[in-house]
Amino acid sequence: MTQLALVIAGSEATGGAGIQADIRTYQQLGVYGVGTITCIVSFDPKNDWAHRFVPVDPAVIADQIEAATATHDLDVVKIGMLGTPATIKVVSEALRAQPWRHVVLDPVLICKGQEPGAALDTDTALREQVLPLATVVTPNMFEARTLSGMDEIAAVDDLVEAARRIHALGPRYVLAKGGVELPGDDAVDVLFDGEEVTILSEPKVGQERVSGAGCTLAAATAAELAKGASVPDAVRTAKALVTAGIHARVSAKTPFDSVWQGAYQS
């Protein structure tokens, strides 16, 4: 039987990140992707690739989720960029309207085109309204600092502490991603389930950030969960897919190349 999964995320027009990367990831793992678009991000090549950000009307977001959930029996969802408090509110209300086996939250906090003041409201809304619904949350270093309230994450021990603090906010599992930002030869992620800490480590593929890695990791986790994997197994497969996708990255004129999901072989 074909497995289905929902993704609620933004469109990133170059194809590198956002729902474009999510749907490719679902496809690569044999999962039929169903998508709701929350916002449209168009980088501006005339202005240093600044993010131009347009939120989708909350009523239209609600309509999309209604169409998707009325058409299919969906019990796994990945949530990517939401972007505004109004979007967060409508998505959290829609999520509460039915039970979910897994809610994978990539807590994308700010987009460079947004006002910092608006971003603070967004952080608070995400922390209060969506984070407690997540079965897995996947913060990067910046998001881990913001959600945990820690000023500095300089080593794996700090990342573990951040994961503990974020876990206390309600999600069932925290996958805190060190990525290329923590010093050392390996890209280290920390998985915390409230009791046990699991360290996941893969050799870094260069020192450059690659667009779409975070989106792809969360989407691959959701796809594997949809197929029945446990959270630790889903995360391991997701990390392998991202690592293969960074090796095979698509070169781009934006400051970052982008992950190629099609490179992964299970």
Contacting positions for ligand PXL (CB under 6 A): 9-10, 12, 17-18, 41, 80-81, 108, 214-215
Q: How many CB atoms lie within 10 A of CB 258?
A: 25
Beta carbon of residue 110, minimum distance to ligand PXL (angstroms, whole number): 10
CB of 213 to ligand PXL, least distance (A): 8
Side-chain-side CA neighbours of 139 within 13 Å: the count stands at 30
- Non-local (6+) Cβ contacts of 133 within 8 A are 92, 95, 96, 100, 103, 105, 170
Q: How far is the CB of 140 from ligand PXL (least distance, A)?
A: 9
**In the bound complex, what is the minimum distance in angstroms from residue 2's beta carbon to ligand PXL?**
26
Whole-Å CA distances, 196 to 155, 190, 199, 213, 247 = 18, 10, 10, 25, 31
Instruction: Kindly tell me which of 218 and 226 has the beta carbon lying closer to ligand PXL.
Output: 218
Closest distance between ligand PXL and the C-beta of residue 80, in Å?
5
What is the largest distance, in Å, between two alpha-carbon atoms of the chain?
49
Nearer residue to ligand PXL within complex by CB, 41 or 94: 41
Instruction: Name the CA radius of gyration of the chain, rounded.
Output: 17
Pick 41 or 156: Cβ nearer ligand PXL: 41
Task: Give residue number: closest CB to ligand PXL.
Answer: 10
Nearest distance, CB of residue 81 and ligand PXL, angstroms: 4
Q: How far is the CB of 99 from ligand PXL (least distance, A)?
A: 26
CB closer to ligand PXL out of 84 and 161: 84
To the nearest 10 degrees (0 to 180), the angle between helices 85-96 and 116-125 is 20
Report d(CA 258, CA 162) in Å as an integer: 28
Whose Cβ is closer to ligand PXL: residue 10's or residue 161's? 10
The single-letter code of the amino acid at 189 is D
Q: Which is nearer to ligand PXL, 6 or 156 (CB)?
A: 6
**Nearest to residue 92, comparing CAs of 58, 142, 55, 143?**
58
Look at residues 185, 166, 168 and name the one whose alpha carbon lies nearest to residue 176.
166
Question: Which of 139, 214 has the CB closer to ligand PXL?
Answer: 214
